[in-house]
Amino acid sequence: MSKLSHFDAAGDPRMVDVSAKTETRRTARAHAFVKMSPEVLAALPNNSKGDPLGVARIAGVLAAKKTSDLIPLCHSLPLAHVDVDITAEPEGVRIISTATTTAQTGVEMEALTAATVAALTVYDMTKALDKRIEIQDIWLLEKTGGKSGDFRRDPR
């Protein structure tokens, strides 16, 4: 197992120095699921606050751009692309976010932040209908580029 890079020899938290790393193209995809009742799903197109899925897409993109403001030791990255795809399914809505950069460090946190904030936005826009809505299964699906190489989550 690798050691945690966000701690110095004394165990104090620190930002990782990536200045010696080469800039490479890096991508990441993340997943979240918002479980909701069939009644809430059926009400999505008629939400008085607007289109919850459309608003969630924009919220996810904006969140990815603000990741370094939210996660204390994240580097600020020049994002080349962020996309948030939201699909309604019988049990809820599935969110897949994608982030791309050419930088000295990975873009996983941006993809995870996008998926998470999109899920929170769906909850916020539908909570008046049912407080039992659940945000589930937030995880990294895959990442490419960088020293550690590619990663692809095994299907469950």
Which residues are paired to 12 by β-bridges?
none
- Buried b or exposed e, range 104-116, using 16+ CB within 10 angstroms: bbbbbbbbbbbbb
* Structure confidence at residue 1 (pLDDT): 46
Looking at the whole model, is its pTM more than 0.75? yes
Q: What is the pLDDT of residue 58?
A: 98
H helix or E strand, kind and range, residue 96 = strand 92-103
**pLDDT number for residue 2:** 59
Give, for all 156 residues of the chain, the pLDDT tens digit.
Answer: 456 566 677 777 777 778 778 899 999 999 999 999 999 999 998 877 789 999 999 999 999 999 999 999 899 999 999 999 999 999 999 999 999 999 988 899 999 999 999 999 999 999 999 999 999 999 999 999 988 889 999 866
What domains can be seen in the chain, in order of their start residue? Answer: 24-152 (3.30.70.640)
Cβ pair 15, 73 in contact under 8 A = yes
pLDDT above 70 coverage of the chain, percent: 94
Active site residues: 124
Please count the other Cβ atoms lying within 10 Å of the Cβ belonging to residue 121: 24
Structure-token pair, residue 137:
């299964």
Determine which helix (DSSP H) or strand (DSSP E) holds 28, and give its type and residue range. strand 24-35
